[in-house]
Structure 1
């Protein structure tokens, strides 16, 4: 993509910053954010946004609920990407559950309302969702054609999130839902894994049989570009590698590429106790996410990093050794 105007809602986290790097040099970017004072500094330990990355990027304040001056930015835009959502890395208390759901639903509705006010609305709206919409699966993989969804909290959130998106009336805007698998890059979710490796705790977690669906951040950006280029694509797509792995294999490969030969396993009771101590939910580690990108493959998309080992190897080239190794 070149010479386009791209709006990213919720673009100051790990994924948003990587999208700024990928799209920002040759396109005009507008980042909708609640906290302007964080936007010029990177909250990721392993990389920073350079002046060149930010040269064509502007940050615009919004609250993710109400219309404001930010609505004008959507006029004539080419692409809108919505990444907004409170982190799920917390205890699922009633208060946190409400914030997790409301942050996603409210932002999606606000964007839909803004588009409806545009004389020249964005050509394409890509709304994030999550691969956790699928059930805990150790028996078979799930794809966009799977109907056996359960009704746990994570699934309820994703269903309502996608329902809100679908209900927005945007006749002049093509709409795509991207159900995101765990996104890997030199930051984000890998930071706690690197910390475990450093202290000899990089073994399997729980039984190690739970499946781990993942995608390299570069492929995430390329998928967005692919969808932009292929005007016939709309609806729901899983954004995940075609080769998910069991947790045991994930940790083994991570130890291998980082040169950490030893890794103690974390038994389920340990994970539950640890999750309680740090204020998070054990399902983030133990839920089996076995998801395939069937519709993406049907569209002809070819992954840069289909295999996990190659993805890890590429990521490690950008990470200082001290971040994942004591010596």
Structure 2
């Protein structure tokens, strides 16, 4: 397939392109082609701007992963604008190009996040759970999905609500590791908030599965089938590293340091991937202990 990928140099994009590049022709939207080629290798075609395109007819599929990280620091007014614009404006531009063509791509994979479900208790939620967009994270995802959904009448579309992506080379886990390896890790707040996680390789496999199977369309939760609470997560990570993990980070300290963004760390959801499993996708790492053992067996 000829694929257009946004967010290709990011944590998820790099792993996905490594899986897809040997058998697909990949164009990567990037503001820095030289950096993209250095990161991704010569098997991709860098595209500096969508302005050079008049439509998307040259592509068989679109994978839209682009977006500024939402949990990289305090949500200032400027930071919120960057988080929104990087998702909404780019997706708007892609949708306009899609609508301008006469032979648009046959498949469109669009990222979203489980933050759309908002803070929940431990009661499981799935793709059928109603959305009540109240906070910033929910509103970002709800509008992002609404913009992307405008192509669904012409193109098979899969929206993947991604959870906590687990791999030591990136994402939240990479940020946690220094403290945990020193024995300074532990629960956040009371540790009861649910964490819906997924091994990076399972997420990549899910994206590829959705891309390649024509019966897949609609919303899919990009999470493993066994979420855990933050306390259990901290204990499992400590055990995998052979370190104690009992030092809590008090909620007031997190709120003082991170402001509104601390809500992402102190609340959570137990999100189940029912749609992906119903579509026939099988997880290699359904449980946290197995995922962590695979990551740190040589640690």
Question: Which of these residues, 59, 78, 81, is aligned with residue 46 of structure 2?
Answer: 59
Pairing 1:91-130 to 2, within 5 Å after superposition: 91-130=74-113
Where structure 1 has 5 or more consecutive residues not aligned to the other structure, the ranges are 43-48, 322-327
In 1, Cα distance between the equivalents of 2:96 and 2:152?
8
2:291: which partner in 1?
A: 311
Question: Which of these residues, 165, 189, 209, is aligned with residue 183 of structure 1?
Answer: 165
Taking a change above 3 Å as real, the CA distance of residues 232 and 68 of structure 1, as seen in their structure-2 partners, is: same
Question: Which of these residues, 59, 78, 85, is aligned with residue 77 of structure 1?
Answer: 59
Q: Are 1:10 and 2:23 matched, yes or no?
A: no
Answer with 30-39 or 108-117: which moved more.
30-39
Query: Is the Cα contact below 8 Å between 2:37 and 2:46 reproduced in 1?
Result: no
1:166: which partner in 2?
A: 149
Q: Structure 1 or 2: larger helix share?
A: 2
Answer with 148-157 or 298-307: which moved more.
148-157
Taking a change above 3 Å as real, the CA distance of residues 151 and 187 of structure 1, as seen in their structure-2 partners, is: same
Q: CA RMSD in A?
A: 2.0
Pairing 1:19-30 to 2, within 5 Å after superposition: 19-30=16-27
**Count of aligned pairs:** 297
Question: Deviation digits for residues 267-293 of structure 1, max 9, x if unmatched?
Answer: 1123223436xxx82123112122111
Alpha-carbon distance, 1:124 to partner:
0.4
Question: Deviation digits for residues 146-167 of structure 1, max 9, x if unmatched?
Answer: 1152411111111111111112
Q: Are 1:33 and 2:33 matched, yes or no?
A: no
Alpha-carbon distance, 1:315 to partner:
2.1
Question: Which of these residues, 86, 105, 115, is aligned with residue 68 of structure 2?
Answer: 86
In 2, Cα distance between the equivalents of 1:8 and 1:128?
11
In 1, Cα distance between the equivalents of 2:241 and 2:122?
31
Query: Is the Cα contact below 8 Å between 1:109 and 1:168 reproduced in 2?
Result: no
Alpha-carbon distance, 1:170 to partner:
5.6
Q: Are 1:296 and 2:293 matched, yes or no?
A: no
Taking a change above 3 Å as real, the CA distance of residues 243 and 262 of structure 1, as seen in their structure-2 partners, is: closer
Q: Secondary structure at the match of 2:134?
A: coil
In 2, Cα distance between the equivalents of 1:313 and 1:164?
39
Q: Secondary structure at the match of 2:161?
A: strand
Alpha-carbon distance, 1:41 to partner:
4.2
Question: Which of these residues, 41, 51, 58, is aligned with residue 68 of structure 1?
Answer: 51
Q: Are 1:247 and 2:244 matched, yes or no?
A: no
1:324: which partner in 2?
A: none
Taking a change above 3 Å as real, the CA distance of residues 29 and 184 of structure 1, as seen in their structure-2 partners, is: same
Query: Is the Cα contact below 8 Å between 2:122 and 2:193 reproduced in 1?
Result: no
Alpha-carbon distance, 1:120 to partner:
3.0
Query: Is the Cα contact below 8 Å between 2:122 and 2:270 reproduced in 1?
Result: no
2:256: which partner in 1?
A: 273
Q: TM-score, normalised by structure 2?
A: 0.92
Query: Is the Cα contact below 8 Å between 2:118 and 2:137 reproduced in 1?
Result: no
2:197: which partner in 1?
A: 214
Alpha-carbon distance, 1:212 to partner:
0.3
Query: Is the Cα contact below 8 Å between 1:201 and 1:266 reproduced in 2?
Result: no
Taking a change above 3 Å as real, the CA distance of residues 315 and 58 of structure 1, as seen in their structure-2 partners, is: farther
In 2, Cα distance between the equivalents of 1:229 and 1:294?
19
In 2, Cα distance between the equivalents of 1:169 and 1:82?
14
Taking a change above 3 Å as real, the CA distance of residues 20 and 169 of structure 1, as seen in their structure-2 partners, is: closer
Alpha-carbon distance, 1:181 to partner:
0.8
Q: Secondary structure at the match of 2:261?
A: coil
